[in-house]
Amino acid sequence: MLALGLDVGGTHVGVGVVDQQGKIIARAEMATRSDRPQSEVLDEIAKTALAAAEQAGGLAAMRGIGVGLPGVVEVDRGVLVFADNLGWHNVDIRHELQARLGDIPVYAGNDANVAALAEARAGACKGADSAVLLTLGTGLGGGIIIGGDIHTGAHFVGGEVGHMIVEVDGRQCNCGTLGCWERYASATALVLAGRAAMAEAANGAIAKAAGGDPEKVNARIVVDAAKAGDPAALAIWQEYIKYLVVGMVSLTNLLDPQVFVIGGGVSAAGEFLREATQTLLHKMLSFRDSNKPDVKLATLGNDAGIIGAAMLAHGK
């Protein structure tokens, strides 16, 4: 059987027809342009989903539609409670899609959660009973797998790990709280630290790579400078790894997952990131003589959202 997976973001919607093994056999995409009326965006999402389905036998060949959304989702009702980067609140995704596509089963979930499901079913931690996916990008997203399935919690906010507090009265977070993990362990954290270092060392490796323009500093510049041994960049990197692992230690003590999977833009650092993270994690964990969680890099890339959304429709 086949299922449709929809990965809905603030700028782009990716749609795929996915088999039970997690292979995408047909695709379609669109620009979200969330400044448009909500109904217009939903109309185009439905048309894009239909276009993908028609490449693989039509909607009649689909066992259902899964939708990954960037916000809090009441998965039992298929309702998007809110998604700030879409500007959508209390949208009944299930009803809206069925009204446009007919009475096909529709399932919805948070985008980071469905990406974690994809990695657990078809990616880096395939077959793992328990895992935590961390996406290190503009923010720090997370998805928790327990018993081979997504853990959403009682109020559907399980997995919002980026807002764990790792520094009391620390840096201001966009959520309104102080000291959230994502302010210290996201790509944005690397960028801000790189700009600060550039201000102190106008002739340093970060400044040279950015052409002297602080606005051109990105996470890759900082990582590459650290790889090359630049002292300022190395200091930033070591601080970054420390805060990343501090959060992972707390998650390990709480959940004891088999594996952590790291995705998002910073994961492009590859083994430089994975090895440093796993080494420090194993060193900091208190139960030193027991098995400890592995750290792996995500393997599905941008397809994880589509595959994981489809897995919602495929079920177990």
Q: What is the mean pLDDT of the chain?
A: 95
How far is Cα 161 from Cα 207, in angstroms, rounded to an integer? 32
Phi-psi map region of 169: left, alpha, beta (phi>0 left; psi -120 to 50 alpha) = left
AA letter at 150 = I
> Which pLDDT belongs to residue 84?
77
Helix (H) or strand (E) holding 247: helix 231-255
Q: Looking at the DSSP assignment, which residues form a beta bridge with residue 17?
A: 4, 26
DSSP 266: G
The pLDDT value recorded for residue 288 is: 66
Query: Which CATH code for domain 2-117+303-314?
Result: 3.30.420.40
pLDDT tens per residue, range 24-76: 999 999 999 988 999 999 999 999 999 999 999 999 999 999 999 998 999 99
Place of tokens 């990008």: 137
pLDDT of residue 128: 92
In 3D space, the residue among 17, 315, 10 whose CA is nearest the CA of residue 150 turns out to be 315
What is the arithmetic mean of pLDDT over 281-285? 94
What is the percent of the chain where pLDDT is above 70?
Answer: 99
Q: What is the pLDDT of residues 80-100, one digit of tens each?
A: 998 877 889 999 999 999 999
What sign has the CA pseudo-torsion 141, 28, 89, 98?
A: negative
Kindly give the pairing relationship between strand 2-8 and strand 72-74.
unpaired
- Which residue intervals of the chain bear CATH 3.30.420.40? 2-117+303-314, 127-298
Tell how far CA 256 is from the center of its chain: 20
The pLDDT score that the predictor gives to residue 291 is 86
Cα separation values, 194 from 211, 212, 213, 262, Å: 13, 12, 11, 21
User: Distance between CA atoms of 27 and 16, rounded to whole angstroms?
Assistant: 4
218 class by beta-carbon count within 10 Å (0-12 exposed, 13-18 middle, 19+ buried)? middle
SS3 64: strand
CA distances from 155 to 75, 139, 152 (A): 10, 21, 7
What is the percentage of the chain residues whose pLDDT exceeds 90? Answer: 87
Superfamily of domain 127-298: ATPase, nucleotide binding domain (3.30.420.40)
User: 96 φ, ψ to 5°?
Assistant: -65, -40
pLDDT tens digits for range 126-170: 999 999 999 999 899 999 999 999 999 999 889 999 999 999 999
